[in-house]
A = this chain, B = another copy of it.
Amino acid sequence: MTKTRTASFQAIKTEILGKIKNGYWNPGDIIPGEESLAESYGCSRVTVNRALRELAEEGFVERRRKSGTRVSLNTSRDARVQIPIVREEIENKGATYRYELILNEEVVAPTDVCRKMNLQKGVKALHIKCLHLADEVPYQFEDRWINLDHVPAARETDFSEVSPNEWLVRKEPFSEAEHTFSAMLADEETANMLEIEKGDALFVVERRTWREKNSITSVKLSFPGASYKMTTRG
């Protein structure tokens, strides 16, 4: 109603969010349609549309054609996590980055890897293990499988120079990624690699990426738990 002079989708977003916050509209309620809101805010429908679209992206409302826009029931919130490139992450801390290739072989993928990457049984894939160091201190142990069907170029790449992480980012950008975070105890191999004790805490990130529904890679990144923190704002 109060037509803010600097009328904008931003102001409308804030106003609508305010009405959700203070209980004017409750979870599950349907809020007025775009047209009606546009009229009451004295702006065009496109502007209201953008405000609502962004609120929907941020999870505050849910929209459906015909039935309209309603305040989300689900109170959970999205937060953004930055998934950095290891090298950049280390260098941003002012440390010197070093990379060490441990293993690079084309072998038949074990069944759990086949499942994760939608591979047929018995198909060969590229298995790579490597270590990322910050100022010569082990920082991250990487255990990766690459789908050679979709990334054949990986076969002829010299991963002793470039880390598969960076190479893939540059050559094979992904469209979809799935990350799983968990905590576990270090097994012997990982402990040796990271120069910690077997049974120490590990922060583990498992990442699977796809390009147009084609599986590209599946990787397990292990960090010494005490040292790794990932921060996000939400």
Chain A 183-227, CB within 8 Å of chain B: the 1/0 string? 111000000000000011111100000000000000000010110
A232 on interface, CB distance cutoff 8 Å: yes
> What's the Cα separation between A232 and B203 when bound, in Å?
16
The interface residues of chain A, by DSSP majority, are classed as strand
Do residues A78 and B76 form an inter-chain contact, with CB atoms below 8 A? no
Do residues A178 and B232 form an inter-chain contact, with CB atoms below 8 A? yes
How many copies of this protein are present in the complex? 2
Chain A 152-196, CB within 8 Å of chain B: the 1/0 string? 000000000000001001100110111111111100000000000
Do residues A183 and B169 form an inter-chain contact, with CB atoms below 8 A? no
Interface size on A, residues (CB 8 A): 48
List B contacts of A83 (CB < 8 A): 76-79, 234
Do residues A225 and B183 form an inter-chain contact, with CB atoms below 8 A? yes
A93 on interface, CB distance cutoff 8 Å: no
Minimal beta-carbon separation of A2 from chain B (angstroms): 19
Minimal beta-carbon separation of A99 from chain B (angstroms): 16
> What's the Cα separation between A223 and B201 when bound, in Å?
13
> What's the Cα separation between A94 and B4 when bound, in Å?
47
Q: What 3 A-B pairs have minimum CB-CB distances, sorted nearest first?
A: A183-B225, A183-B183, A183-B203
